[in-house]
Amino acid sequence: MKAIAKTKSEKGFEIMDVPVPTPGEGEVLIKVKASAICGTDLHIYKWDEWSSQRIKIPRIVGHEMSGEVVEIGKNVKDVKPGDFVSVETHIVCWKCYACRNNRQEVCMNMKILGIDTDGSYAEYVVVPEENCWKNDKSLPPEIASLKEPLGNAVDTVLSEDISGKSILITGCGPLGLLSIGVAKVSGAYPIIATEINEYRINKAKEMGVHYVLNPLKENVYEAVMDITHGNGAEVFCEVSGNQDALIEGLKATASGGRVSLLGLFKSDVKFDINDLVVLKGLKIYGITGRKIYSTWYKTSALVESGLLDISPVLTHKFKLEEFDKAFELMETGNCGKVAFIIG
């Protein structure tokens, strides 16, 4: 089968012919139909400091995916050949302290598809049965592949109730765009976002944002305070991984407000925690992955009910052989989600 893999300690990937994997006990073999590019995959493509320390070469990459189950291993009970599934990419132990306290998303023995095990930029992939989420077969494969990142946005925005609350979302990359969509259908008002890329500013408007602020052209704090009549945003979701965005967002958050942090920062972050967090009485959530499985129920309900249309977030499609074009596009930022259509 064809697969995209990291084979050398340098920028880029390689397309390879490798054997089709065989499912072991409790595992299933999936014929991949679509697999989207995550920011993590871009880090691996660039071969930055984090990825060079984490990834063991060779590694088939990719994790946001959908496909058809074609073979099952021994003792698989709930998934059968022919099922159309999305995949939870966090492979957890179910035995550690976090798992036994129903916090599987922070499993102490976590393995991640496409990082610690071979991933979904391939014609076939093997995953544990419990990582499969069954979809209605009418759902387009490329949309089904976005259920995994949509889960990140759902947990970021809906850490607490947002109905009727003002919300600030910093960064309108794919996760920011998905977060805007979740906030919109969940009754937040006004929805304020920040972004410097004109392409993504227009996408944010398409997803239903009420105000988009360009921090290179205007003062974010002053604009948010004006929009919210001097109160500040009741909810702040940081998805950019930019230190300046974090600090401006904390400044613009209302006293007693809620903060959800999803963006990952390249290095240590420094800010005045006394004035910006403690003395404002802010509640902060760190968001990683999705809750297994409660978030999957929410994402499926939002998408399959028709309440949330995430198709505008998916802006480009490529074949596996076109991976260089896909990742070069991702580097420009002039895109939303980019997906490989496979098989």
Which residues form the catalytic set?
Answer: 40, 43
Close Cβ partners of 81 (under 8 Å, ≥ 6 residues apart): 69, 70, 71, 72
User: Using an 8 Å Cβ cutoff, are 177 and 201 in contact?
Assistant: no
DSSP E strands, 143-295: 167-170, 191-194, 211-213, 233-238, 253-261, 283-286
SS3 content of the chain, % helix, strand, coil (to 5): 30, 25, 40
For the chain, the distance separating the N- and C-terminal CA atoms, rounded to the nearest angstrom, is 10
Q: Residues of 91-106 as b/e, b for ≥16 C-beta within 10 angstroms?
A: bbeeebebbeeeebbb
φ/ψ bin of 159: left (φ > 0), alpha (ψ from -120 to 50), beta (otherwise): alpha
Structure token digits, residue 50: 């984090």
CB atoms < 10 A from the CB of 18, how many? Answer: 15
